[in-house]
Amino acid sequence: MKARHCPISKHMARIKIGETPKRTEDARFLTGQGRYVDDLPFKDLAHAFILRSPHAYARLRDIDIAEAMAQPGVLQILTGADQAKAGIKPMEPYARENFRNGKPFNYLPHPPLALDNVRYVGQPVAMVIARTVAQARDAAELIDVDYTALTATCTTKAALADEDNIVLRWIVGDVEATRKTFDSAAHVTRLSLVNHRVVTNSMEPRGGIGYYNANNDEYTLHVSSQSLHMARDCIAETLGISKDKVRLIAPDVGGGFGLKNNAYCEHILMLWAARAAGCPVKWINDRSSGFTSDYQARDHASEAELALDAEGRFLGLRIASWANLGAYLCGSAGRVCTDQYASLPGTVYAIPQIELTIGAVSTNTVPVGVTRGPGFAEAVNILERLIDRAARELNLDRAEVRRRNFIGPEAIPFTSITGTSVDSGQFAKNLDAAMRLANGFAERREQSEARGLLRGLGFAYHIKATGGAPEEKVELTFDEADTVTLTTGTQSIGQGHETTFPQIISDLLGVPFEQIRYRHGDTGLISMGGGHGSSRATYMGGTAMFLAIEKIIEKGKPFAAQALEAAEADINFSDGHFRVAGTDRSVDIFSIARTARDSGKRGEDGGLGLDTPQEFEREFMTFPNGCHIAEIEIDPETGKSTVARYCAVDDYGKIINPMVASGQIHGAIAQGIGQALLEHAVYEEESGQLISGSFMDYAMPRADEVPNFEISFNGTPCTTNPLGVKGCGEAGAIAGFPAIANAISDALSPFDANGFDGPATPERVWKIIQKTQKL
């Protein structure tokens, strides 16, 4: 058999890992060619409107739908009483027990439509299906619901008055040894902190279109989601059917940030609606309903203590924390408290004794899910705020205190008290590099003071375990048109994977970037996948690709040896070609792929020719880390705080595309700025109403709140995956809040800023200044 001419054109480019091609997906996004759930065309489409509870806690006595059913265009109205007849069960959380000790969580059944009572403002009570959205909305206003209002419980403190509200409670660490450490410490710093609740507010609201095929009893949901396979399994369980009867398809997704990681009531309701109405049914959340139905995030209160010797070396850490999980335990929220928050309680510092007391309660507020850095953001915020406070109390330099206590390179890899093993990192080096970026602060402070402004500098060193769902799958197939198709179980939701995933294949296989197709976002295309969460996609999907490509090369060698009339042992592979060692004879991979496909041979993995499915189950996480430094200017006359400068030096391991990584960093920092200065989900304690329930009352960061960023990479390759990558999507949302809060505390150091907490709104900062001036 003769070797065929290489179809890899010199005019097409192989793109290597580390290069910065522009994002291929941006052309369609910027020209309005994106295709989101709301853009999908369906024949005979009906629309759903969800009637939601106006009460935070109430007994649901009766629902009268007679007048609403008589309205024009109305096809069906479904209530909680109809669920049991339809075989619909309560939704179960993804995490149902503390995986560290096996103790089950205490949680309430979560029906897609309320049954005997409602537990938060915004809970679905009834669903109207009509020919138009307007008809469904008008009919919903005529549904007569008889409520008996009950006393709502909205805060952690109020929830603790009743043991039934406690979802979980456990302790990590040696309590007695920690007590002795604190008793003998030269200094103890104490701090009460609240990592306040936020609303994620992705640009594209949640939405879905349900379709039911009565011929084969199968369901299809087109949905804005970032974790399809896990959502599919939860939906199937709730519907009481096997998961092979449910298919989820996600077109373009306009942002997720953890908000779209979980299955929601509306997902089940759209599939039920399609079956009940006999036609596809569409629902798109409006922004107002999003505030009271999208899972919220954070809401974590802590009493923290740091024990130090006289030189500022850390001796012990003791934290008692309570998380407010809202009305129901949803998705992986329970795992955040028992795994992620407790994963690295000492973050990057050598702390001999640590004691964590961790609890979580249910309240009559919107359920809590996840947003960037769940658990780790709370842990980093506590420790970085404690360190700054301790340095001030001991009159020590804040950067020097950190240097004295970093886990040094000689001690890496290290293992936390809860068994998390960190493989790599250069913590002191990153701090020093960030300090160089922030050089000149003293002069800038003088300039601010000359203009009547206060200026402060704040540090935060972040670290996070990334990896998310432990299993991933990819499939690489060679097509007749000499292209490679990648199908993944993870998906792109705006991060740039349509560019970076083909970039990995282009480099490792040596084929032109233009000859790689990317398919994702469909449980019908691939049997399993972990979706996108915890910055897992490049680590998990990339490792699976690497392993698949290794197999492809080995599969191709026998065919190449035959084509080149050489011994298989003499065949090497590089730059997209199989070569005979020591000669100039070669054959390209697409020629070998055609030959292998024509042979009809299948590998042990079932792939035809060179086609290769590959599953990957991780043993380890990756640990992105770095130092962020914020500078804040405060106008003492108004209390307005402005982020004047922001520097970051981050370790994301080996970076596939630095431009794409930088974009992720910018977005995460903007999210951190939002929480630090603006965003706060505020409930009225007596009624449970969300006071900040619209953009009139909930402020999001805009262009004038976000400065130019000075960003630098100091990557130490991860040693536990073959690409050496680490997740990079969450750092700014973890480090931004404490860095800015510490900068504000530094600027307010002439005033009594002890106890400063929550977003630094102008009113709150101004009150601190005025209170001190009046003393």
For residue 761, the Cα-to-chain-centroid distance in whole angstroms is: 26
β-bridge partners, 88: none
| Predicted pLDDT at 2 | 34
| Predicted pLDDT at 11 | 46
Nearest to 295 by CA among 204, 363, 371: 371
Count Cβ atoms below 10 Å from residue 10 Cβ, excluding itself.
7
CB 533 within 8 A of CB 258: yes
290: helix, strand or coil: helix
Q: How far apart are CA 379 and CA 399, in angstroms?
A: 19
Mean pLDDT over each residue of the chain, to the nearest integer: 95
Angle among Cα 329, 333, 339 to the nearest 5 degrees reads 135
pLDDT one-digit tens code per residue, 580-634: 999 999 999 999 999 999 999 999 999 999 999 999 999 999 999 999 999 999 9
pLDDT one-digit tens code per residue, 239-257: 999 999 999 999 999 999 9
Angle among Cα 374, 380, 383 to the nearest 5 degrees reads 145
pLDDT one-digit tens code per residue, 387-414: 999 999 999 999 999 999 999 999 999 9
765 has a pLDDT exceeding 80: yes
Element at 322 (helix H, strand E)? strand 314-324
773 has a pLDDT exceeding 90: no
Q: What is the DSSP letter of 116?
A: S
Q: How far apart are CA 363 and CA 165, in angstroms?
A: 7
5 has a pLDDT exceeding 90: no
Strand pairing of 577-580 and 571-574? Answer: antiparallel
CB 123 within 8 A of CB 52: yes
pLDDT one-digit tens code per residue, 192-248: 999 999 999 999 999 999 999 999 999 999 999 999 999 999 999 999 999 999 999
Return the residue matching tokens 């049914």.
281
Count Cβ atoms below 10 Å from residue 160 Cβ, excluding itself.
14
Return the residue matching tokens 């191709």.
556
pLDDT one-digit tens code per residue, 151-187: 999 999 999 999 999 999 999 999 999 999 999 999 9
Name the more confident of 518 and 773: 518
Q: What is the DSSP letter of 65?
A: -
CB 248 within 8 A of CB 221: yes
CB 331 within 8 A of CB 261: yes
Q: How far apart are CA 317 and CA 331, in angstroms?
A: 30
pLDDT one-digit tens code per residue, 524-577: 999 999 998 899 999 999 999 999 999 999 999 999 999 999 999 999 999 999
321 has a pLDDT exceeding 70: yes
| Predicted pLDDT at 758 | 83
Q: Is 707 exposed, middle or buried (0-12, 13-18, 19+ CB in 10 A)?
A: middle
Average pLDDT for 138-162: 97
755 has a pLDDT exceeding 70: no
433 has a pLDDT exceeding 70: yes
CB 599 within 8 A of CB 480: no
469 has a pLDDT exceeding 80: yes
Q: What is the DSSP letter of 21?
A: P
Q: How far apart are CA 240 and CA 403, in angstroms?
A: 55
Strand pairing of 281-284 and 46-52? Answer: parallel
Q: To 10 degrees, what angle do helices 731-747 and 376-393 make? A: 20
